[in-house]
Structure 1
Amino acid sequence: MDPHAHPGPVAVAYAARRQAWEETHLSTLAARSYPARRALPEDDCGLRTPLQRDRDRIVHSKAFRRLKHKTQVFVAPEGDHYRTRLTHTIEVTQISRTVARALDLNEDLVEAIGLGHDLGHAPFGHIGEEFLDEALRERFGRSFRHYEHSLRVVDVLEREGQGLNLTDDVRDGILCHSGRAPQPRTLEGRIVRIVDRVAYINHDIDDAIRAGVLAESDLPAEPLRILGETGSTRIDRLVHDLVEASSVAGDILQGAEAGGAMDALRTFMFDRVYLGNTAVREHEKIRAVIRTLFDHYASLPDGPPDGGGAPGADDAQRITDYLAGMTDRYCIRTFESLAVPDGFVG
């Protein structure tokens, strides 16, 4: 028997029960799970809120699975303990849920936004994003921003061009999670936006030390005095600060001291790791890979070999969709197939 056509007593009562729970337990500032505002209206699920349904669609998407082979900071690291874009996504989501629960906000919304926020990242992280943007501007006068492409992934590219039909609040949180984008309209989206930085700064420090790019003694003393000597201590203090400052403000923000210390660590990481000597030596290699593939697909009469891409996409968009969807290792293998004689590919 079809449970949707003939729902049982639990499914019949589920939506009303969840709405009553949210009215009793969530802050008046929290986003609500109902009604679901989607581009294409759908009947609600009898056992999940619309936001839980969004979460499930993201987790089961192809773009989410590809995150395990996309760079966080270090390209194709040999060790098993370095972060990937997938582990970063899980860490952001877990911390964001902690903050949302402490503030009586909607955990299901921060979970869906957290899991979907980086689906549009190009291979090789932000450096790959920069060089894909450069190539698009030079040839087509277009730009590439991973947060905009994350929204395109869920709106258009998944499900063979049909998209995931996510709710408006999840879509807004995904699009606005970056500091370069407008503020998210919900407090839950603003949590993910700040926690994204909290997570990547501290976890990237851990990976940089593991890789030998940094030593513990290199870290600036004043931010460590304020936030702590270890990554877990710093994250704990930043989360406590975020919750307490936000509770007083009725918005999502950091205290001046903790926020300033985190900004100082971020500046240090850009100077020493993200744009440091070790990284810069790899940048031209990454640029060569991205530009070689981009120029190759732009020169083909039929564009990239993706069966036509999303409906209605022009050549520039098809190339963007194809390249941005690549994992690091697939991108490298494809480059080798074009640039290295077959007999020399190890």
Structure 2
Amino acid sequence: MEIRRQTEELEAKILSPFACLSKNTKGRERMEEPCPVRTEFQRDRDRIIHSKAFRRLKLKTQVFIIPEGDHYRTRLTHTLEVAQIARTCAKALGLNEDLTEAIALGHDLGHTPFGHAGEDVLASLYDLGFRHNEQSIRVVKHLEGDQGLNLTYEVLDGILNHTGPNKPITLEGQIVKIADRIAYINHDIDDALRAGIINIQDIPWDCLSALGVRHSQRIHTMVFDLIQFSKGKAEIGMSKEIQGAMNNLRTFMFEHVYIGSEAKKEEDKARYLVRALYLYYIENYHHLPIDMRQRIEHEEISRVVVDYIAGMTDRYAVAQYKKIFIPKGFPLE
């Protein structure tokens, strides 16, 4: 236990009074013996990284559906960029980097294939609705492994509230909430420029003059502003000027990239595919994998089908659609 205790003592000495200390966690739903080396938040981070759901993020859409170019972001690279930005902010503010990283790495585990297009379809079909942040909680509490990952309360809270109106209870979670937006706005601009969907001249000049023309400049401006605004405070935020410029940039991206652009031209096909898979498995749930079928004993079929489809990668969803709906040629002897 000596190594873990030394780390916990070091946290208490060097971290901000506003930081969430590992030794002060509210704990887990199921009690566990402490690790002799790692703090509780380090354990959470490691469990997320080693999960199957985390590995599947590499084949899930960020903005561009199944891009042919090697340099376009996926849900995994987005997650890593969020974690990097969030850790930079946490370190500068004297907050708990391990907690911040665990939340960042787990925040999108519940995302569907084909990004928000898949999310919208499941939300419209499933009676209880579908939100990827809530699905991320289902992944880490119920679907990953035999009994879920049994994460700490603070990590679960940060994952659940990384989007939506509610504020995470920890400053570390609040950092991830803003870092998520900083990351996706900037890397989606980078990808849209690479794809020729927008030109740098299309971006409002007031945004560029406030934040920077280059990708690295914009991230630096936003991160530095967050740090300066939040330093010594019991809240995480940004200055009115930079927050306003970032919001305007986000609005520009919705108008020119996220809705109706060339980046989205395959979305109707993706929506059709996800809908077809859902309706098929509702009627043919006996074709679900055995581990999913076993869940039907204590959960509704629709809930199990949603969990199964939400966990698919883009590639796997396409393969299942072909297997179910595309006829095979009769083999010659």
TM-score, length basis structure 2: 0.95
Q: How does 1:327-346 map to 2 (within 5 A)?
A: 327-343=313-329
Query: What's the counterpart of residue 262 of structure 2?
Result: 278
Query: What's the counterpart of residue 187 of structure 1?
Result: 171
Tell me the CA shift for residue 305 of structure 1: 2.9
Tell me the CA shift for residue 280 of structure 1: 4.7
1:126 maps to which of 95, 98, 116 = 116
* Distance in structure 2 (CA, Å) of the matches to 1:190 and 1:275: 27
Q: How does 1:1-346 map to 2 (within 5 A)?
A: 12-36=1-25, 37-136=27-126, 141-160=127-146, 162-178=147-163, 180-247=164-231, 249-302=233-286, 304-307=288-291, 308=293, 310=295, 312-343=298-329
| CA deviations over 1:232-265 (Å, ceiling 9, x no partner) | 1000010000000011543100110101000001
Tell me the CA shift for residue 67 of structure 1: 0.3
User: For the Cα contact (< 8 Å) 1:69–1:85, is it kept in 2?
Assistant: yes
Aligned sequence identity (%): 51
* Distance in structure 1 (CA, Å) of the matches to 2:5 and 2:191: 46
Equivalent AA in structure 1 for residue 154 of structure 2? D
User: For the Cα contact (< 8 Å) 1:309–1:321, is it kept in 2?
Assistant: no
* Distance in structure 1 (CA, Å) of the matches to 2:201 and 2:290: 48
User: For the Cα contact (< 8 Å) 1:213–1:273, is it kept in 2?
Assistant: yes
Query: What's the counterpart of residue 4 of structure 1?
Result: none
Equivalent AA in structure 2 for residue 190 of structure 1? Q
User: For the Cα contact (< 8 Å) 1:309–1:318, is it kept in 2?
Assistant: no
SS in 1 for 2:270: helix
Tell me the CA shift for residue 95 of structure 1: 0.8
* Distance in structure 2 (CA, Å) of the matches to 1:67 and 1:157: 15
Tell me the CA shift for residue 13 of structure 1: 1.6
Tell me the CA shift for residue 23 of structure 1: 1.5
User: For the Cα contact (< 8 Å) 2:4–2:36, is it kept in 1?
Assistant: yes
User: For the Cα contact (< 8 Å) 1:175–1:181, is it kept in 2?
Assistant: no
* Distance in structure 2 (CA, Å) of the matches to 1:193 and 1:202: 15
- RMSD between aligned alpha carbons? 1.5
| CA deviations over 1:191-228 (Å, ceiling 9, x no partner) | 00000000000000000111111112111111001000
User: For the Cα contact (< 8 Å) 1:306–1:322, is it kept in 2?
Assistant: no
* Distance in structure 1 (CA, Å) of the matches to 2:107 and 2:79: 8
Query: What's the counterpart of residue 9 of structure 1?
Result: none
| CA deviations over 1:82-136 (Å, ceiling 9, x no partner) | 1000001011001100000000000000010011000000001111101111121
* Distance in structure 1 (CA, Å) of the matches to 2:162 and 2:140: 15
User: For the Cα contact (< 8 Å) 2:57–2:76, is it kept in 1?
Assistant: yes
Q: 1:248 to 1:303 in 2, by over 3 A?
A: same
TM-score, length basis structure 1: 0.91
Tell me the CA shift for residue 303 of structure 1: 6.2
Q: 1:309 to 1:98 in 2, by over 3 A?
A: farther
Consecutive unaligned residues in structure 1, runs of 5 or more: 1-11
User: For the Cα contact (< 8 Å) 2:2–2:37, is it kept in 1?
Assistant: no
* Distance in structure 1 (CA, Å) of the matches to 2:94 and 2:329: 60
User: For the Cα contact (< 8 Å) 2:285–2:301, is it kept in 1?
Assistant: no
SS in 1 for 2:183: helix
Q: 1:248 to 1:34 in 2, by over 3 A?
A: closer
* Distance in structure 2 (CA, Å) of the matches to 1:285 and 1:204: 21
Matched residue count: 327
